[in-house]
Amino acid sequence: MAIKTIDAKQADELIKSGAVIIDIRSQDEYVRKHIDGAICIPVSEMNAEKIPANSTIIFSCLSGMRTQSNAETLSKCACNCSNVYILEGGMNAWEKCGLPIEKNAACSLDVMRQVQIAAGSLILIGVLLGFFVSKWFFLLSGFVGAGLLFAGLTGFCGMAVLLMKMPWNKV
């Protein structure tokens, strides 16, 4: 079954008519901010039993990229549904249209933004200390850069794992 894409306004009309919106992001991402009324079923836990049969389903993520890249998996899991759609532009498009979202103000920044802030800060500090204190501090920037390269190549980010254990990231 091919999954069709729809825009946020079309999705809103379908939801008002009884369609179910499923957010395929991780539970952590979902808790921070999600479309009002969405059900969270992370793509890693997706299976046909978790999806309501004989219903209209709209899959969503943050920007629409994750749903597009997992369209084949989502299609297989939604085989018992009458209509299956992907929300084009994801929650970002939904929010841009002024449609309702639920936001948890108590949650900190998402982990990837924390990684970007921490990595950027460490690289900048390493460069500044390298110029003004000792050339050995350039190794700090090189180490962080190597860590980012490793994370990009393998999909494992040690800094993200470490940041997830911090008390401000406990949801």
Q: Which amino acid is at 152?
A: G
Average pLDDT score over residue span 23-46? 92
Percent of the chain's residues with pLDDT above 70: 99
CA atoms within 13 A on the CB side of 11: 30
pLDDT at 171 over 80: no
Quickly state the pLDDT bin for 106 (edges 50, 70, 90): confident
Confidence (pLDDT) at 5: 95
Confidence (pLDDT) at 1: 61
Confidence (pLDDT) at 153: 93
Domain 4-103: give its CATH code: 3.40.250.10
Q: Which pLDDT tens digit goes with each residue over 66-90? A: 999 999 989 888 888 889 999 999 9
Q: Is 40 a catalytic residue?
A: no
DSSP 53: T
DSSP letters of 107-146? Answer: S---HHHHHHHHHHHHHHHHHHHHHHT-GGGHHHHHHHHH
Average pLDDT score over residue span 30-59? 92
Residue 90, token pair as written in the block = 């994801």
In this prediction the pTM is: 0.72
Of these residues, 61, 77, 81, 157, which one is catalytic? Answer: 61
